[in-house]
Every structure is written in C-alpha cells, then in structure tokens.
Amino acid sequence: MRVAVAGGTGLVGKYVVAELRATGHEPVVLARSHGVDLTTGAGLAEKLSGSDAVIDVVNIVTTRRKTAVDFFSRTTDHLIAAARAGGVGHLVTLSIVGSDEVDFGYYFGKRAQEQLVRASGVPWTVVRATQFFEFPEPMLNSASPVVVVPRMLTRPVAAQDVAETLVEHAVGGPAGMAPEIAGPDQLDMVDMARRIARARGRRRLVVPVTLPGKVGKAMTTGGLLPRGEYLRGRRTFDAHLASLRAA
Ligand SMILES: NC(=O)c1ccc[n+]([C@@H]2O[C@H](COP(=O)([O-])OP(=O)(O)OC[C@H]3O[C@@H](n4cnc5c(N)ncnc54)[C@H](OP(=O)(O)O)[C@@H]3O)[C@@H](O)[C@H]2O)c1
C-alpha cells in the first residue's frame, strides 16, 4: 500500500515511516521539509495523489489553546479536503488519552482535530495514545541545570509501539474510535524526567510543579490514564533508559 504520513519526519512519524517500509509498504512523507505545508495546503494534492491511506502525526509544540485549535483545525481541514478530492480511502489520526476530558490548552486542538475527522465523510480511525517515553526530553534539553516538570500521572508508551499500531490500522481498514494504547507501567512524569537525566548523564535539578486548577488536579489524579480496556505497548521504560545509557 501507498501510505502518506503527515508529520513523517517527527518523533513518532519517523517510526511510522520505518514501520511502513519494514512491512513492505510505500510511505510518502507530508512535512514542510518535504515541500508540503499542511497549514496552507501548499504542495499537498500532488504528494497525496495515489495514496491508499493517510496517517496523521503532524504536531505543533504549544500550550496555548488558540494556537493549538488553529493549527490542528487547519492541518486536518486540508488533509480531509485533499483526501476527499484524491479518493484516499482512510484517514488514521493519532490523538491523546484523556484529551477529551482534561482542559489543557493543547488538548483543545486535539479535540477539534478528532471532531473534524469524525465528521469528515472520509473513512477514519482515531487512536489515542498516552505520553511517549520521550515526553520530558524538551524540558531537560534546556541549558539550565534547574528544570521545572509538571506533576502528571501517566502510563507512558514507546513511540515505536504507537507507530506499529498506526500502521496496523492503516493496513487493516477504518475502525472509528480504536482501542487506546498505553505502556506497561504507570509512572510519574517528574520521576521519568529524573531517570532520563540520570541515564543521559546530565546533572539536572528537577523541580516538580502542579499545574493550577482543574487541569493540575486532573493530571495528578489519573485524568490522562486509559479507562477500561486498552492496548498495552510491549516496550518498557526501563528498556528505554537502558538504550539511553548505551547511547
Ligand atoms: N509527544 C507525546 O507524548 C504524544 C503522545 C500521544 C500523542 N501524541 C501525538 O502525536 C503526534 C505527533 O507528535 P510528535 O511529538 O511525534 O511530533 P513532532 O516530533 O513535534 O513532529 C511534528 C511533525 O509535524 C510536521 N509539521 C509541523 N508543522 C507542519 C506543517 N505546517 N505542515 C506540514 N508538516 C508539519 C513536522 O515536520 P516539518 O517540521 O518538516 O514540517 C514533523 O514531521 C501529535 O498529533 C501529538 O498530539 C504525542
């Protein structure tokens, strides 16, 4: 199958592209660095042409509601319009566990994206995942020896496990709301950040903060954990740390 990957150069997108290749499919990357701007639609129709499915793992780094809603609405609108025009038979979108209930600014963007996909008329699958193992990395990458990390209960998952699931869905056909995917262990984001810093040999003082109001309460009391049955990623955070130590 020919499968377009919106955001195919990103953290999870690279794994999606690799998994498509490894399973005998043909990935086509949709990203600005590959001549496609999904916020304007520039370059999209040509690249998407002839694809059987699209996996959408495009992203913007923001905590602002308006920025997130604007970005995910525009990129999703353009993908849907191009998929309709090009007869692409399946749109697979990656979302976030709990983003429908926790009122964090960025999550409003994911809600807008999910709503557009559901109403698009293009056969669709939405997979919600928990935080990736790499989630604390941008906070630790600052030059400062003191980093502030939000308290958050999570069941982090390997981006590679998520990528494999997205590819299975793209190949398997539209499933609507697919089972959520989460990792094998429940962890605290602050603890994860400290363990990553140690594994990387970086001296960092990790200062925990609880985000204010209902958002902080929800994040610390399980609002981002899957409810009920979910697909369990097979890779562990310990193995991830071991790979960081070996690198
Ligand atoms: N991080 C997590 O813990 C987590 C957990 C669950 C779900 N998710 C979801 O996973 C998805 C991917 O996240 P990620 O962290 O892997 O992303 P990322 O590393 O930030 O990568 C973002 C990708 O989007 C592309 N992109 C950004 N703006 C674009 C534009 N205007 N036009 C075309 N391409 C654009 C980038 O390529 P160019 O820069 O070349 O354009 C890049 O390939 C997101 O939907 C996120 O909500 C993330």
Per-residue pLDDT 10s for the chain (247 aa) are 999 999 999 999 999 999 999 999 999 999 999 999 999 999 999 999 999 999 999 999 999 999 999 999 999 999 999 999 999 999 999 999 999 999 999 999 999 999 999 999 999 999 999 999 999 999 998 889 999 999 999 999 999 999 999 999 999 999 999 999 999 999 999 999 999 999 999 999 999 999 999 999 999 999 999 998 999 999 999 999 999 999 9
Within 10 A of 87 (CB to CB), how many other CB atoms are there?
A: 12
Domain that holds residue 193: 2-246
Tokens 């008329």, residue located: 121
Q: Give the pLDDT of residue 142.
A: 85
Q: State how many domains the chain has.
A: 1
C-alpha closest to that of 218 among 155, 157, 152: 152
Q: Give the pLDDT of residue 58.
A: 98
Tell whether ligand 1 has an atom less than 6 A from the beta carbon of residue 156: no
| Closest C-alpha residue for ligand 1 atom 15 | 11
Q: How far apart are CA 206 and CA 72, in angstroms?
A: 31
CATH number of 89's domain: 3.40.50.720
Two tokens, residue 91 = 């749109």
C-alpha closest to that of 237 among 130, 132, 96, 127: 132
Tell whether ligand 1 has an atom less than 6 A from the beta carbon of residue 96: yes
Q: Is 129 exposed, middle or buried (0-12, 13-18, 19+ CB in 10 A)?
A: buried
Tell whether ligand 1 has an atom less than 6 A from the beta carbon of residue 181: no
Strand partners, 94: 127
